A and B are shown apart, each in its own frame.
Chain A
Amino acid sequence: MSKPGINFLSQDELVAIHNTSLEIVEKTCS
């Protein structure tokens, strides 16, 4: 069986947060 795990973020949420992080790096840190 798979290792039990507590999932927190859905795939869509992961992508949304990843994209936001990219934007922060691009806009805020540039």
Chain B
Amino acid sequence: MRALLTSLSDHEVDQIHKASLQILKETGIKVTSEKVRKLLAENGAEISGDIVKIPESLVAEALSRAPHKMILGAREPKCDLKIPADEFPFIATSGFSPFVDDFRTGERRYSTSADLKDFAILSDYIDTVDFFWPIVIPGDVAPSLQELHSLAISFENNRKHIQCSCVTEKTAKWQVRLATAIAGSEEELKKRPLFSTINCTVAPLVFEKGSSEAMVVLAKAGIPPAPMSMVLAATTGPATIAGTLALGNAEELAALVIIECANPGAPMIYCAEIAPADMKTGEINYGAPEYPLLCAGGAQLARFYKLPKYVADISPQQTPNNASPPKRKQVDTSSVKRSLAAVALHYTPRPDIFASFGGLDQAMSASLDQLVLDAEVYEHARAYLRRFEVNDDTLALDIVHKVGPGGHFLSEKHTLEHFKKEIWSRSMDDTFILDPMSKGSFPERAKMKVKEVLSTHKAPPIEEALRNEMQQILKDAEKDILGNG
């Protein structure tokens, strides 16, 4: 038994699935890549200009081909992630913010390669971070090279699985080249893909040339794309929760069709990150009460298709902190403790993978101390997410009979054997990541931890010959992508 948040009945899941099929068949998607349109036409889609109508049979075929299990490989094999996740989701950092809140100065500024390196090192150190999404943009690198360089910086400074964005065909090719060098061969990379990608659709129902062509390259290389549908209820989607789910689900199914047409049996991660719009600003509203419910609906749909699930994203403001300059305030352990149930709620849709440690202000910025704080709070929030066994031993019938009416269980061996596992007795003083001897508020202690880790920790180094090969790949990619070669 374990807590599982759901927002749809089985019948409603089926209704949404059928509505998505109808969207794909009758409305269609807009695909701005001629190459991808041709691929879809060859497989039975109906093309009219840049609109592609996808028949139900093509979706069914794609669903039948998509793998239900996968390994997200890591540079260090012991960090490989086996999907589906078992008791807890695998957690990553937030992704690709243009700003960083500098923990040393408190200032918000554009992020750089050096910032990304620090985040990669810190995430390598913290065991709670299962895989790394380059959390800030290396802003000192040419924009068209940022996605490739962010992967290279991450590989060099983090031993775990890397998930990065990829919006052009050329970037995809060079990212695959880089990962192949580390994996040793194309076949090894297919067996244990060392990175996966975020490929956003443009809601409603637009598949841009760059991103869709990148998905084709990645699918052929066995790299799992996570096509991130970001339909916003009331702006880029209907104002209704059911309509928004159907639209987001249609985008996921369309992406799956593209991937399976490109390479039958290629892995894909279902990634409907749909949310309500903030009706006052138009921004994505991660703090809305509908958000975890939409995540739960998305997770149910992914479960219905037996696809790996990546649908939930913690709201950064769920973890109280003082890292965001406009809202700077001191936070004590009791206020963090009060936030635990709210934090846990975001994980109860039970995705396989989950991102957003360290993000601030709807992922516009990020900070190293927030990353520590989010990981620390998550470790405490796990208390709500544990799985409990139901079997003869835990049902404890013999013990109940032995103790009998009016007795007491405290002195029973059964109690001694089970209470540490079943009854959560850690206080907020029993920290997981923060130094238990350090003084001050949680945010102050998080800053101390960041300083300590950055001055003492390094990811296991990449051997020199491989590093040289990676440097040469980056040089060649630069010539190719910037067009001055």
A binding-site residues for B, Cβ under 8 Å: 1-2, 4-10, 12-13, 16-17, 20, 23-24, 27-29
In angstroms, Cα B390 to Cα A16, docked, is 8
Query: Within the complex, what minimum Cβ distance (angstroms) separates B3 from chain A?
Result: 5
Rounded to whole angstroms, the CA-CA distance of A28 and B398 in the bound complex is 9
Contact B395 A2, beta carbon cutoff 8 Å: no
Other than A1-B242, A4-B5, A27-B401, give 5 A-B pairs with Cβ distance below 8 A.
Answer: A2-B7, A12-B390, A17-B395, A28-B400, A28-B405
Which residue from B7, B390, B400, B401 sits with its C-beta under 8 Å from A4? B7
Interface string of B369-402 (1 = CB under 8 A from A): 0000000000000000000001000010100110
Give the CA-CA distance A12 to B348 in the complex, in Å.
Answer: 20
Residues of A within 8 A of B7 (CB): 1-2, 4
Least Cβ distance of B1 to chain A in Å? 5
Chain B residues near A10 (CB, 8 Å)? Answer: 1
- Closest 6 A/B residue pairs (Cβ): A2-B9, A4-B7, A13-B390, A20-B395, A7-B4, A28-B401
Cβ A2 vs Cβ B3 within 8 A: no
Q: Which residues of A contact B296 (CB under 8 A)?
A: 4
Q: Which residue of B lies closest to A28 (CB)?
A: B401
Q: Does the CB pair A17–B397 fall under 8 Å?
A: no
Report the minimum CB–CB distance from A17 to chain B (whole Å): 7
CB neighbours (8 Å) of A12 from chain B are: 390
Q: Closest approach, in angstroms, between the C-beta of A3 and any C-beta of chain B? A: 8
Least CB separation from A7: chain B residue: B4
Distance to closest chain B CB from A27 (angstroms): 6
Taking Cβ atoms with an 8 Å cutoff, the residues of B that contact A are 1-9, 12, 241-242, 293, 296, 348, 390, 395, 397, 400-401, 404-405
Known: A16-B390, A24-B401, A28-B401. A5 touches B6 (CB 8 A): yes
Q: Is the CB of B1 within 8 A of A13?
A: yes
Asked if B6 contacts A7 (CB within 8 A), the reply is yes
The residue that B12 contacts in the complex, of A2, A8, A27, A29, with Cβ under 8 A, is: A2
User: What is the CB-to-nearest-CB distance from A19 to chain B, in angstroms, rounded to a whole number?
Assistant: 9
B397 touches A20 (CB 8 A): yes
A9 to B400 CA separation, bound complex (whole angstroms): 21
Q: Which of B241, B242, B348, B395 contacts A6 (CB 8 A)?
A: B348
Q: Are B390 and A17 in contact (CB under 8 A)?
A: yes
Residue among A1, A10, A23, A29 with most chain B CB within 10 A: A1
Q: Quick check: B397 and A6 within 8 Å, CB to CB?
A: no
Minimum CB distance partner of A29 in chain B? B405
Nearest Cβ on chain B to A26's Cβ, whole angstroms: 10
Identify which of B1, B3, B401 gathers the most chain A CB atoms within 10 Å of its CB.
B1
Does the CB pair A8–B1 fall under 8 Å? yes
Alpha-carbon distance A5/B405, docked complex (angstroms): 34
Query: 21 A-B pairs, CB-CB below 8 angstroms?
Result: A1-B9, A1-B241, A2-B6, A2-B8, A2-B12, A4-B5, A4-B6, A4-B293, A4-B296, A5-B6, A6-B348, A7-B3, A7-B5, A8-B2, A8-B4, A16-B395, A17-B395, A20-B395, A24-B397, A28-B404, A28-B405
Which residues of chain B come closer than 8 Å to A23, judged between CB atoms? 397
Q: Nearest CB to that of B15 among chain A residues?
A: A1
Q: Which residues of B contact A2 (CB under 8 A)?
A: 6-9, 12
Closest to B7 in A: A4
In the complex, what residue of chain A is closest to B16 when comparing beta carbons?
A1
Residues of B within 8 A of A28 (CB): 400-401, 404-405
